[in-house]
Structure 1
Amino acid sequence: MKTSAPKSGPDTDQMRLVAIPRLAAGGRWRVEAMRSLSEGCFLWFTKGQGRITVAGQTRGYTANNAIYIPPGVMHGFEVGPQVFGTAVFFGKSSTVTLPAEPLHLRIREVHAQQEVNVTLDMIQREMDSDTPAHDRATRHYLGLLGVWLERQASKASADAPRPDAAKRLVARFTDLLEKEFRRGKGVGELACDLGVTATHLTRCCRETCGRSAIDLLQDRRIFEARKLLLETNTPVGQIGSSLGFASAAYFTRAFQHLTGVSPTAFRRTI
């Protein structure tokens, strides 16, 4: 399905549909690194497979998987060369009723697969249209997408196991990490805030997503650093300080360890 930026409209200025492969056009780190968005995001995979981490839980995805990520929820996912699908970004001011919690749905019914494909096609068609009331039609189709998500989630909830203690702890950790990653707190301090030891927190992180707590923390901080290096003229040292690094030298070492290049060299890639 062809995707493009929407035309202007009362509620659709910030809403957009993007082909999933295009999300990694500026580098795979843009989708694979841990980060959160200030808007809801719906991912509909139509081909390929990979892994996605949402709120500290890693699961495999394949064709006909629907994933909803609420605003502020930390996530990252693989986008290989054979992965196709559509990402819907609802915009910060969206009035669509959407789930409060993340969803990962495996849509097996052909009718449900067809329904979401038709809805996405109609959203794109109205966004590309110059006909009267196309903006209002876009909002209505987005509402239908929200209804589709709610119904599919309701069907899946009966069979969904309750998250175990490790998953609940790591979800709390990623939520706290998203709020605190700029303050320079280490894993020990974050674990203390959660009422557990750093060792226990790291064990749970490895169990739910195959990564340590420090890996998640550094990935989140370095993702933000890369964005600031590419999208602003803020001096390198000031970026490191704003993300809680104790010194410019420590920031440079951490950045180079994760990316293979220095912050200054990375900025020159623009």
Structure 2
Amino acid sequence: MTRSYPISQLRLVAVPRLTAGGRWRVEAMRSLSEPMLLWFTKGQGRITIAGSTRGYTAHNAIFLPPGVMHGFEAGPAVFGTAVFFGRDCDVTLPKVPHHLRIRETFAAQELNITLDAITRETESTSPGKDRATRHYLGLLGVWLERQVDKVAAEQKRPDAAHRLVARYSALLERDFRSGMGVADFASALGVTPTHLTRCCKLACGRPASALLHDRLIFEARQMLAETRIPVGRIADVLGFTSPAYFTRAFQHRTGKSPSAFRKGA
């Protein structure tokens, strides 16, 4: 591990804190520009990764590389830690998403100890804290590698419907700002809109249009909450045909106009 990785990019956040400002911040479809590990220690819910929905419970570790569309439920009874590695992370991490159900007590304890050590070092003022943090991050990467190896033999190859939805999710993440509709995405994937929607319902219980609209509205909320870009410009950036259409779509999904949402964010 080189020393070029800026430790300041590393953040460990309690899962309940992720919902500050609204549950949409975790539940709506989005992707990150950095790797993330979710470690759930209490509670249960559902998580959608690349268009496929599964349940999670305590002692589930979910790794998400950059650019993977996802969203998950995080009710008041759900606890755990989210590790955001930063865009410039040079730790060896998996290249694809993994949902790991940790059944061995010692493996769960090992992860808890490593995360506690990383937290302690990031909050420390002792000499060598950055070097120690990097070493613990390396151990975290090794832990992930070993757990992925253990479950690889147990995992079944995704069926055709889940493979199609994964391709749709990746294409959607790349082109959701383009103004393309479900029919356009289906055409690009070589299937009919009806077939794509049927497969999405099988994989995550939602039609293809819901995934597209959810991704668009999440991006809109993020831009309204975190920037001062005019509403009309946001509509244009996200591929809406007019500001009026964007306002109607946003209000239909959120119950608020874009301006009202911005004022309350």
- Residue 193, structure 1, aligned to residue 188, structure 2: yes
Displaced runs of 4 or more, over 2 A: none
Give the letter aligned to residue 225 of structure 2.
Answer: L
Residues paired across the two proteins, number: 262
What is the TM-score with the length of structure 1 in the denominator? 0.96
The CA deviation string for residues 166-191 of structure 1, in whole angstroms up to 9 with x for no partner, is 11110010000000000100010111
**Residue 31 of structure 2 corresponds to residue 46 of structure 1:** no
Q: Quote the Cα distance in structure 1 between the aligned partners of 2:63 and 2:234.
A: 31
Distance 2:164 2:228 in 1: 37
Unmatched segments (≥5 aa) in structure 2: none
1:120-269 equivalent positions in 2, closer than 5 A: 120-269=115-264
- Separation of aligned partners in 2, 1:83 and 1:230: 25
**Shift of residue 68 of structure 1?**
0.3
> Do the aligned residues in 2 keep the contact of 1:10 with 1:135 (CA within 8 Å)?
no
Partner of 1:15: 10
Q: Check whether the contact 1:55–1:74 (CA below 8 A) recurs between aligned residues.
A: yes
* Structure 1 residue identity aligned to 2:95: A
1:92-111, Cα deviation, whole Å (9 max, x unpaired):
00001111110001101011
**What is the CA distance between 1:231 and its match in structure 2?**
1.0
1:98 counterpart = 2:93 = yes
The answer as to whether partners of 2:30 and 2:71 remain within 8 angstroms in 1 is yes
Matched residue type, 1:168: R
SS in 1 for 2:7: coil
Once the two structures are superposed, the pairs formed by residues 47-66 of structure 1 within 5 Å of their partners are 47-66=42-61
Any idea what SS the aligned residue of 1:52 has?
strand
Please give the alpha-carbon distance, in whole angstroms, between the structure 2 residues aligned to 1:46 and 1:105: 13
Whether contact under 8 Å (1:123, 1:141) holds in the other structure is yes
Measured against aligned partners, the alpha-carbon deviations of 1:71-117 in whole angstroms (never above 9, x if no partner) come to 00000000000000000000000001111110001101011011000
| One-letter amino acid of the counterpart of residue 91, structure 2 | V
Q: % of aligned pairs identical?
A: 68
Shift of 1:148: 0.4
**Conserved? CA contact 2:5–2:89, under 8 Å:** no
Q: CA deviation at 1:10?
A: 5.1
In structure 2, distance between residues paired with 1:148 and 1:85: 17
TM-score by length of 2: 0.97
Root-mean-square deviation (CA, aligned residues, Å) is 0.9
Contact 2:5 2:88 in 1 (8 A): no
SS of the aligned residue for 1:238 comes to helix
Give CA deviations for 1:14-38 in whole Å, capped at 9, x if unaligned: 1100000000011100000000000
Cα deviation, residue 119, structure 1: 0.3
Match of 1:109 among 104, 107, 123: 104
Q: Are 1:52 and 1:61, in contact at CA under 8 Å, matched by a contact in 2?
A: yes
The structural deviation recorded for 1:142 is: 0.9
- State the SS of the aligned residue for 2:264: coil
* 1:136, distance to aligned residue in structure 2 (A): 1.2
AA partner of residue 60 (structure 1) = G
9-18 or 46-55: bigger deviation: 9-18
- Distance in 2 (CA, whole Å) between partners of 1:27 and 1:143 is 33
Gaps of 5+ in 1: 1-8
